[in-house]
A = this chain, B = another copy of it.
């Protein structure tokens, strides 16, 4: 008699709110570990390819990380006319670094990630994002970022806060003190970009509202732009654009950026402009 073949069906669920669940079929648990700060898992899924999960929450997927990383990088890079020194906070997976390394004019990138284990895991299992971490311009610092930034003054043209959600290890990165520290670390025409969560579910929209309010107090120019990231809660994702001098639309160097011939799959300079035109309910939420 032939034995029946039994296949285990695995599903990973990201809890978008306590009443909404987003589940993806898993083919294989690639790697898992417990760091000093959090539980780290890399799974292979049928629809999204590899996914990185921290403390049970979805961070990036192979299928749509390009949207997040292109939008957090190319929007400021197409506005600021001479970015030489960049600070990236968080970003342990390397995706933001990969996009920054497409610009030959960038001379120095400091990456400050609190959890070295995340980077080690991505270097081993998520080379799609970590592939440029060996660029000689990249300097990795595995330490607490608030302390790191406090020591800096007039150091950077661009700071990108590519950190996890505003609770857990990244909690201190969503306070007014932190934004003031970033302001000081930026040169006189510097730009600060930070990931801002989603405006849709009330548990996230409150943190968007709070972060935007505090950045607005610190920076002369402060606005928000949006994109579609299907694997994130609600799929409607916001980034904050705060700047000492440049306006993200009036100062967009459209022709100049297009002449660089940088290959992107989501970002283009028309979409750049469109991403700052927000729905009415989001403008009301942010008091814009």
Q: Closest residue to A201 on the B side, CB-wise?
A: B47
Does A194 reach chain B (CB closer than 8 Å)? no
CB distance from A99 to the nearest CB of B (A): 14
Q: Which residues of B contact A236 (CB under 8 A)?
A: 228, 230, 235
Q: Which residues of B contact A279 (CB under 8 A)?
A: 67, 227-228, 265-268, 271
Does A277 reach chain B (CB closer than 8 Å)? yes
Q: Closest residue to A236 on the B side, CB-wise?
A: B228
Does A222 reach chain B (CB closer than 8 Å)? no
Does A131 reach chain B (CB closer than 8 Å)? no
Partner of A271, one of B45, B264, B277: B277
Instruction: List CB contacts (< 8 Å) of A1-51 with chain B.
Output: 11, 17-25, 45-47
Does A209 reach chain B (CB closer than 8 Å)? no
Does A276 reach chain B (CB closer than 8 Å)? yes
Does A217 reach chain B (CB closer than 8 Å)? no
Q: Closest residue to A264 on the B side, CB-wise?
A: B280
CB distance from A199 to the nearest CB of B (A): 9
Q: Which residues of B contact A273 (CB under 8 A)?
A: 274, 277
Q: Which residues of B contact A266 (CB under 8 A)?
A: 279-281
CB distance from A29 to the nearest CB of B (A): 16
Does A214 reach chain B (CB closer than 8 Å)? no
Partner of A23, one of B21, B235, B276, B283: B21
Instruction: List CB contacts (< 8 Å) of A227-270 with chain B.
Output: 227-228, 230, 234-236, 264-268, 270
Most buried by B among A25, A201, A228, A279: A279
23 contacts between A and B (CB under 8 A): A19-B25, A19-B46, A20-B22, A20-B23, A21-B23, A22-B22, A22-B23, A200-B228, A201-B230, A228-B279, A230-B234, A230-B236, A264-B280, A265-B281, A268-B279, A271-B278, A271-B279, A271-B280, A273-B277, A274-B274, A274-B275, A274-B276, A274-B277
Q: Which residues of A contact B (CB under 8 A)?
A: 11, 17-25, 45-47, 64, 67, 200-201, 226-228, 230, 234-236, 264-268, 270-271, 273-281, 283
Contacts A19-B47, A21-B21, A271-B278 known; list 4 others, CB within 8 Å: A17-B47, A18-B25, A22-B23, A273-B274
